[in-house]
């Protein structure tokens, strides 16, 4: 998990950043995949939650360091996108209070539209963080 969520995110930020600094015209946009778990963790999720906190630090540092080079960096925090991986949410998952409860999911199409919005902004504008959740319950 650390290799994918932490090392992978670092390398997938570092390499484009280097390219964006040297290309003509210079600049570009990096959008990192965070998680609502960084602000609303689940029980027994310390490793995953910790890696998502790191993504927030990476995003903020990259956004700051990228300013002189016209590089914008933002993060989308997704809460329960409707995928095969989250299908179990409807049958119930452990909550912070110890109960098992079902959780709604947000259609992946909605998340995609949010990312397209972030990507479509001019480089002088940046959405540093965006949280995409369904309008019911968690988050």
Residue 48 annotated among the catalytic residues of the structure: yes
Percent of the chain clearing pLDDT 90 (strictly above): 60
Q: Is the pLDDT of residue 137 over 60?
A: no
Continuous segment of H or E residues that includes residue 78: strand 71-78
pLDDT confidence bin for 129, thresholds 50/70/90: very high
Catalytically annotated residue among 16, 33, 41, 48: 48
Q: Determine contact, residues 76/114, Cβ cutoff 8 Å.
A: yes
The structural domains of the chain, ordered by start, are: 2-132 (3.40.50.720)
Count Cβ atoms within 10 A of the Cβ of residue 55 and give its class: 0-12 exposed, 13-18 middle, 19 or more buried: buried
Give tens-digit pLDDT for 48-106: 999 999 999 999 999 999 999 999 999 999 888 877 877 787 788 888 898 988 888 88
């Amino acid at each position: 998990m650390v290799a994918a969520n932490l090392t992978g995110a670092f390398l997938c930020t570092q390499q484009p950043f280097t390219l964006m600094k040297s290309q003509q015209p210079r600049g570009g946009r990096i959008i990192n995949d965070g998680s609502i778990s960084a602000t609303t963790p689940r029980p027994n999720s310390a490793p995953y939650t910790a890696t998502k906190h790191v993504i927030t630090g990476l995003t903020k540092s990259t956004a700051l360091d990228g300013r002189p080079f016209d590089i914008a960096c933002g993060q989308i925090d997704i809460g329960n996108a409707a995928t095969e991986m989250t299908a179990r949410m409807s049958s119930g998952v452990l909550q912070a209070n110890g109960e098992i409860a079902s959780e709604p999911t947000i259609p992946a199409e909605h998340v995609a539209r949010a990312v397209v919005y972030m990507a479509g902004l001019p480089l002088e504008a940046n959405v540093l963080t965006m949280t995409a959740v369904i309008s019911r319950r968690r988050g």
